[in-house]
Amino acid sequence: MALNHIGRLQENLKNYDQAEEALEQSLLVNPAQPGVIQHWVHIRQKACKWPVYKPLAGVDIADMKRYTSPLAMLALSDDPAEQLLTAQSFVSRTYEFKEEQLYGSYQHDRLRIGYVSGDFREHAVGFLLPAMLAGHDKNEYELYGYDFSKDEQTDVRQQILSHFDHFKSIHQMTDRAAAEQIRFDEIDVLIDLHGLSNGARPGIFALHPAPRQGTYLGFIGSTGMPWLDFVVADPVVLPEELTPYFSEKPLYLEGSFLPRVSYAAKDSHFTRSQFGIPHGAFAMGALGNTYKITPDMFEVWMRLLKRIPGSIICLIDDSKAGTSNLRAQAVKHGISQDQLIFLPRTPHANFCGLLALMDVYLDTFPYNCGSTTNDVIHAGIPLVSLHGKTMVSRMGLSVLTSLGMGENATQSFEDYEEKVVDIALQKNAWHLSLATMPSGSLPMGQALKELHNLKRHERDLSLDQPQLVYPKVEVFQICYSPETLAAVPAGFGVLDNLDNHRPDWREFWPIRQYLLSHELEEDVFYGFFSPRFNYKTALNIETIRNQVHSYGKENDVLIFSPFWDFSAFFANPFIQGDFFHPGLMNCSQMFAQVVSPELRLSELVMHSENTAFCNYFIAKKKFWLNWLVLGEKLFQSAEAEGTTLAKALNQNTVYSNDLLPQKIFLQERLVNILLAGPEFKSKSINMFELPSSVTPLNQYKSEAIMANALKFTYSKMGDYCYIDEYHRLRERVCTGSGINYLVNIRDGCLGNE
């Protein structure tokens, strides 16, 4: 954790070498950290360290790609399927929102359009918004802005605000409060201007405060977010053949989907000498973010510097590491350092003036320029772009096609290189023709109106009656008497155990009979609880359903065990069982030999996430069927005549003054045999927050949490230092009063006062 914090801090300070070093050390300690891999990859990308995916012990290339951030993947790959999978992977591991449907049914004289953004300001998105917002006829549309931008007083922000009928700050609101405000305003179409970019608030959209929800501008690719229905595009930037790689349905505009705007200083007084650009040089500008530069594109630029006499290239001096690495790469290509000019970041108006000093602008690939394209065209210099198979790699093609300059949008690195050389020759011959940016607003309003009137295809999320699919819950109370039958909690089914033909098997028998006589459904969580469950966990059916909605899609078993202290201070439930019932470990290991000869129960280290006691858990069909298979093996072993295992299983143990066979206590631990393996995913719910009345070691709560964390870390990493520290911690507790509590509990269970 310390290394990760160091890495993030240094990343924010653009000290990329130090950031990379800290995160690499963290991954060497524990390679299974998707979030750390994500930042490590993007740091190398921003520092122009190539190849970005370098070998790293414990982390294979597949994991590096799987955990690459969606933004980073836009600049790394021109494979639309890879971009979609990256987005979906990011969404599934990052956002655990419980979807709801807040919107209602309403009709308005003017269609109410809501835009949600933290970029209503001087920003790549903000610069494009005035022309887009101007494309809504105020007689037909009522515009609402939901703002969580940084506070600034600029002309750009004032222009943006002037287009809204209603502008509301949601900066201090929670996602739910913001969504409820949007629902109160009865928005018909809601548009997210962030997508998967930094600062996004997808939690608002997961609550579905509007009947139609889409994404625009903030992220030029599929977001993979199930709560967004459409993406604003045009047929050039997102042709029909690419739509299968989008989770959103395209909403097509006429012309380019990028608004035609500019804040360029027409009468710029900048001179080349102010920036160290030689007079008479053929200046090529590539002034975008450095993470968009790839080795293949940089190699093309280096070839251009060799081919075009007197040429230089202007790049952004974004970080010490990035600039140093780009200079080193240029040396490898045999390029003189005076042909590379690194310019500092500058305010947007100055940036537009600087562009006018260039002879050509070099677009990046696969992540093309977006907002900068407008500035380049207005600066009166040619743009050379390369387009591919992804939306983000076709932005240049979209703009240039709409301007009648499609020949500057090339299809290969070779064509790209030749086009730049051709522009240099034309400029020298004074034959270079330039594109002009025609005036006009983006016809967004009409497209949104058509969207509002369209019926959804069957394969899309129904917006009139959205169907959110969650795993279902079926829980039963095992009833032993008329009193327990009369006290079944609301929402629980009844599992009648009044006529138990095999009371020697206690709760196992009614569960076994239910599983043998019922056809379980695939995506349902089943639970079978004793009457003790409710008072020991304080969980009702609604709480259980909420936990299933939160964690059920990713897990096979949800654990509600209240015995967090016992789980923490024993390496596994079998060792704990032997402490309370001497001989149980030997009996359990004999049974384990029947199930899996290589299983060594005494060597297992289990923690709260995969330790369940008795039947304090719910599980899906696949898990219960495997549990039943184990249970049947246990049943057959106990029923066998004269075997050593049968004798051990039927040997009685004193428990609360009752004689119970060891098979009962082993049956209660069948769930742990399954959870000890990798096949099933489990999640413990509120392990350390359940009622203290059933946790006799409550005064050791902090030690129990620490002990559990050490076991968890050891089980994930295999480093013995963690389990050694666990044993030292347990020893400290047990040499104090803690051992007395454990012994007293055990002796009470054994009936030895």
- List CB contacts of 445: < 8 A, sequence separation 6 or more: 113, 135, 136, 137, 140, 141
Is there a single domain that holds both residue 40 and residue 172?
no
Instruction: In whole angstroms, give the CA distance from residue 602 to residue 673.
Output: 12
- Residue 280: both structure tokens together: 């008479």
Q: Domain ends where: 196, 212, 228?
A: 228
**353 sits in which H/E element:** helix 348-355
pLDDT of residue 464: 43
Residue range 287-336, pLDDT digits in tens: 999 999 999 999 999 999 999 999 999 999 999 999 999 999 999 999 99
Q: Which residues of 247-258 are buried (b: 16+ CB within 10 A; e: fewer)?
A: bbbbbbbebbbb
Residue 749 is assigned to a structural domain of this protein: no
Evaluate the CA torsion angle 701, 704, 708, 713 in order and state its sign: positive
Is there a single domain that holds both residue 625 and residue 499?
yes
Q: Which residue has the higher pLDDT, 374 or 234?
A: 234
What 3-state class would DSSP assign to 582?
coil
Is there a single domain that holds both residue 149 and residue 217?
yes
CATH number of domain containing 176: 3.40.50.11380
Residue 510 is assigned to a structural domain of this protein: yes
Q: Which residue has the higher pLDDT, 73 or 435?
A: 73
Kindly report the average pLDDT of the chain as a whole number.
87
What 3-state class would DSSP assign to 715?
helix
Residue range 176-231, pLDDT digits in tens: 999 999 999 999 999 999 999 888 999 999 999 999 999 999 999 999 999 999 99
Is there a single domain that holds both residue 61 and residue 170?
no
Is there a single domain that holds both residue 118 and residue 61?
no
**160 sits in which H/E element:** helix 155-162
Residue 716 is assigned to a structural domain of this protein: no
pLDDT of residue 70: 95
Q: Which of these, 573, 657, 653, lies nearest to 617 by C-alpha position? A: 573
Is there a single domain that holds both residue 84 and residue 179?
no
Give me the domain span that covers residue 343.
272-428
What 3-state class would DSSP assign to 618?
strand
Is there a single domain that holds both residue 51 and residue 119?
no
**β partners of residue 477:** 494, 529
* Sequence-ordered alpha helix ranges (H) in 14-122: 16-29, 34-46, 61-66, 70-76, 80-94
Lowest mean pLDDT among 18-32, 269-283, 649-663: 649-663
Evaluate the CA torsion angle 225, 229, 234, 238 in order and state its sign: positive
Residue showing tokens 């079926």:
474
pLDDT of residue 362: 98
Residue range 126-161, pLDDT digits in tens: 888 888 898 888 888 999 999 999 878 888 899 999
Instruction: In whole angstroms, give the CA distance from residue 523 to residue 123.
Output: 45
What are the DSSP calls for 511-552, one per residue?
HHHHHHHS---TTEEEEEE-THHHHHH---HHHHHHHHHHHT
Instruction: In whole angstroms, give the CA distance from residue 645 to residue 634.
Output: 10
Is there a single domain that holds both residue 115 and residue 90?
no
Q: How many CB atoms lie within 10 A of CB 161?
A: 14
Is there a single domain that holds both residue 308 and residue 415?
yes
Q: Which residue has the higher pLDDT, 43 or 542?
A: 43
Instruction: In whole angstroms, give the CA distance from residue 16 to residue 469.
Output: 42
Is there a single domain that holds both residue 192 and residue 285?
no
Q: Domain ends where: 60, 94, 128?
A: 94
Q: Domain ends where: 655, 670, 692?
A: 692
Residue 454 is assigned to a structural domain of this protein: no
Instruction: In whole angstroms, give the CA distance from residue 282 to residue 312.
Output: 6
Residue 717 is assigned to a structural domain of this protein: no
Is there a single domain that holds both residue 602 and residue 500?
yes
Q: Which residue has the higher pLDDT, 450 or 75?
A: 75
Residue 732 is assigned to a structural domain of this protein: no
CATH number of domain containing 367: 3.40.50.2000
Residue 585 Cα distances to 424, 525, 588, angstroms: 82, 30, 5
The number of residues in the chain equals 753
Is there a single domain that holds both residue 389 and residue 484?
no
Residue 8 is assigned to a structural domain of this protein: no
Instruction: In whole angstroms, give the CA distance from residue 666 to residue 576.
Output: 12
Domain count, the chain: 4
For 280-345, give the secondary structure using H, E and C: CCEEEEECCCHHHCCHHHHHHHHHHHHHCCCEEEEEECCCHHHHHHHHHHHHHCCCCHHHEEEECC
